[in-house]
Amino acid sequence: MTAFLIQNMAPLMFASLIVVMLIGYPVAFALAATGIFFGLVGVELGLLSPALFQALPQRVWAVMSNDTLLAVPFFTFMGLILERSGMAEDLLDTVGQLFGPLRGGLAFAVIFVGALLAATTGVVAASVISMGLISLPIMLRYGYDRRFASGVISASGTLAQIIPPSLVLIVMADQLGKSVGDMYAGAFVPGLTLAGLYAIYAGGIAVFKPAWAPALPLEARTFREPSGSSGTPSLIVLVIIAVMASVAFAQYHYPQADPPIDELLVLSTAVGVGVAFAASVANHFFKLGLLSRIAERVTFVLIPPLALIFLVLGTIFLGVATPTEGGAMGASGALAMALVRRRLSFSLLRQAMNTTAKLTSFVVFILVGARVFSLTFYGVDGHLWVEHLLLNLPGGQLGFLIVVNILVFLLAFFLDFFELAFIVIPLLGPAAEKLGIDLIWFGVLLGVNMQTSFMHPPFGFALFYLRSVAPFKDFVDKVTGKTISRVTTGQIYWGAVPFVLIQCLMVALIIAFPGLVTGGLAKKAAVNTDQMRIEVPAAEPEGEIPLEGGPGTAPDTNGAEQKNDRGGATK
């Protein structure tokens, strides 16, 4: 019996973990308790040193002093303020008007706004709710296919999970021991490709099933010129001017052959947007009449999200701010914007802080639980056992990736991504590295995979939120006076299916073309934003029982535990 226990501690621990989590008690505490229980058993059996427990406080301390995780409350808070600032409504209204006259245009608008919101700070629930209450009624009114309309809304909402700055990527970077800046850079192209695939699908529907995605009728187009024209040519001219300004700036400012690509992109985009904004402001205040209403309006609604994207991603990619500080800048920007728009109330502020505090606490506690569990699990060589299992999969790299992706896809039905990230990812990472897999590529791949969990029926969160705002029963539309029938849950589920397939296609694409991720990792700019910090770039001694990290003996482990993850330093 004892021999059996000693032989099989790791598999037993793993099995207990599954049972204990399924009981339905908060995961964080169940995890930690399992770790401590098996630690005691291990000490009793002579497998582990009693000093193991002395390392526990150090484990929690390492979580506390983790700069990267600070981004979690910042981006959460930013999202909560932003979702109530009215920005999403303005965008959906205006972009809907812009694309509406096209067949499938409202679907394009939803995808475009979904991607834009995702790049400011994505909160899946907020995007889906806004689109479900603003775009869905219009789509239903003018005869969109219900499945297509609800599918496009849920899928576009989940873009927030993969387009930077997303919490998934932050946590993934932290757990894989990579820099958040790199993870962001790597996820950019796949995120936009995914949005592109959604748009291609919508385009296909518009061409082959025109009845599913009709254009807005004339009477529904509100931004018209007095002359009756749509005003779009004026917008196109403005866009061309802005793009030319960007290109000219890039040519003039970076004449060398090998410019720092992130910096070039960020700054020249900023110049182009600035030019368009200046033109619109001049047109508006001096009543020049050079720009159409829609051109002016589109510029004005696009400025706030673009400014926020610059504030967060721009400063991170320029190396001005660490990802954590980028989150704080974004949160401050969101506060300022809500204030200017008179949307910031005391109760909103308190509510956002309240929600953020609870989310932070439960997320970090899952991590604490996972760390306590892993202290024992690694102590009994559980990580070697898992690694051995994974490395023995047939098919080398490809076999490993396929199995892992199927595993994560299935686990995502039951676990949310924080649980996956803190419990499963640390076990997969070392095996992936041994197989020569680039961890950024691996992280982005799993990120796209986990995004699916937000939309597969019946547990997908995006579907759940869409259900909560889509019409439950038939209603009389105020504008047309016609009765419009309800959206059934079945329609929402079926609508998501094509997008889940697109998602799987994207996973396959990333596996087939790693360049989609690694191509985004620009040559390292040698800017260190954080020279002031004295850093000991040693990884946390996860693998062994860190006896040397015991209390009192090593007061400086605080420095050593800092992941060398200051965005600018490694970007």
Partner 1 sequence: MLKLCLGVSRAIDSLNEHVGRLTYWLILAAVLISAGNAIVRYTLNMSSNAWLEIQWYLFSFVFLFCAGYTLLHNQHVRIDVISGQLSSRARAWIDIFGTVFFLMPMAIVIMWLSWPVFLDAYRSNEVSTNAGGLTVWPGRLMLPVGFFLLILQGLSELIKRVAFLRGMIPDPTEKDEGPTAEELLAEELRKERGEAAEVKP
Dihedral sign from CA coordinates of 161, 164, 170, 173: positive
CA-nearest of 154, 120, 145 to 205 is 145
C-alpha dist (Å) from residue 374 to 23, 94, 172: 20, 50, 17
559 near partner 1 (CB under 8 A): yes
Residue of 43, 60, 241, 522 that binds partner 1 (CB under 8 A): 60
Query: Which parts of 144-173 interact with partner 1 (CB under 8 A)?
Result: none
Is residue 325 involved in binding partner 1 (CB under 8 A)? yes
Helix 180-208 with 167-176: angle, nearest 10 deg: 140
Backbone angles phi, psi at 476, to 5 degrees: -95, 120
Interface segment toward partner 1; rule CB under 8 A; list 106-114, 220-228, 293-301, 319-327: 319-327
Exactly one of 155, 162, 216, 372 binds partner 1 (CB under 8 A); which one? Answer: 372
CB 176 within 8 A of CB 565: no
Tokens of 153: 């809304």
Choose between 69 and 408: whose C-beta lies nearer to partner 1. Answer: 69
**What is the spatial distance between Cα 296 and Cα 280, in angstroms, rounded to a whole number?**
5
CB of 332 to partner 1, least distance (A): 4
Question: Rounded to the nearest whole angstrom, what is the least distance from the CB of residue 255 to partner 1 in the complex?
Answer: 25
Stretch that binds partner 1, among 18-26, 216-224, 427-435, 449-457 (CB under 8 A): 18-26
Using CB under 8 A, which of the segments 221-229, 261-269, 410-418, 505-513 binds partner 1? 410-418
Backbone angles phi, psi at 530, to 5 degrees: -135, 45
Among 207, 384, 414, 537, binds partner 1 (CB under 8 A): 414
Q: How big is the CA angle at 528 (ends 555 and 542), to the nearest 5 degrees?
A: 40
- Which range in 110-118, 156-164, 408-416, 539-547 contacts partner 1 by CB under 8 A? 408-416
The C-alpha atoms of residue 326 and residue 331 are separated, in whole angstroms, by 9
Our finding on whether 22 is near partner 1 (CB under 8 A) is yes
Closer residue to partner 1 (CB): 241 or 353: 353
CA nearest neighbour of 276 among 250, 318, 307 = 307
- From the list 6, 45, 102, 133, which residue makes contact with partner 1 (rule: CB under 8 A)? 133
Among residues 1, 3, 257, 534, the one that binds partner 1 under rule CB under 8 A: 534
Which residues contact residue 48 at a Cβ distance below 8 angstroms, ignoring those fewer than 6 apart?
39, 42, 376, 379, 380, 545
Maximal CA-CA distance, the chain: 89
Residues 462-501 that bind partner 1 (CB under 8 A): 465, 468-469, 471-473, 475-479
Among 61, 62, 81, which residue's Cα sits nearest to residue 73?
Answer: 81
Q: Which is nearer to partner 1, 3 or 534 (CB)?
A: 534
Shortest CB 280 distance to partner 1, Å: 25
Q: Match 């908060």 to its residue by tokens.
A: 26
Applying CB under 8 A, the site for partner 1 has a residue count of: 104
Among 29, 254, 277, 300, binds partner 1 (CB under 8 A): 29
* CA–CA dist 112, 305 (Å, integer): 12
Which of positions 415-444 make contact with partner 1 (CB under 8 A)? 415-416, 418-419
Q: Is 33 in the site for partner 1 (CB under 8 A)?
A: yes
Cβ proximity to partner 1: between 8 and 360 the closer is 360
* Cβ pair 311, 56 in contact under 8 A: no
Q: In the complex with partner 1, which residue's Cβ is closer, 231 or 319?
A: 319
* Eight-class DSSP state of 312: I
| Positive/negative CA dihedral, 90, 91, 97, 100 | negative
For partner 1, the binding residue among 121, 283, 292, 315 (CB under 8 A) is 315
| 44 vs 12: CA distance, rounded Å | 16
Residues 212-251 that bind partner 1 (CB under 8 A): none
Q: How many residues does the chain have?
A: 571
Q: Is 300 in the site for partner 1 (CB under 8 A)?
A: no
Convert residues 80-119 into a mask of x (bound to partner 1 by CB under 8 A) and - (unbound).
x--xx----x------------------------------
Exposed, middle or buried, 489 (CB in 10 Å: 0-12/13-18/19+)? middle
Q: Which of 328, 386, 428, 516 binds partner 1 (CB under 8 A)?
A: 328
3 near partner 1, judged by CB under 8 A: no
User: Binding partner 1 by CB under 8 A: which of 10, 27, 119, 380?
Assistant: 27
Whole-angstrom CA distances from 224 to 117, 220, 269, 451 are 26, 10, 28, 39
Question: Which of these ranges, 4-12, 56-64, 219-227, 289-297, lies near partner 1 under the rule CB under 8 A?
Answer: 56-64
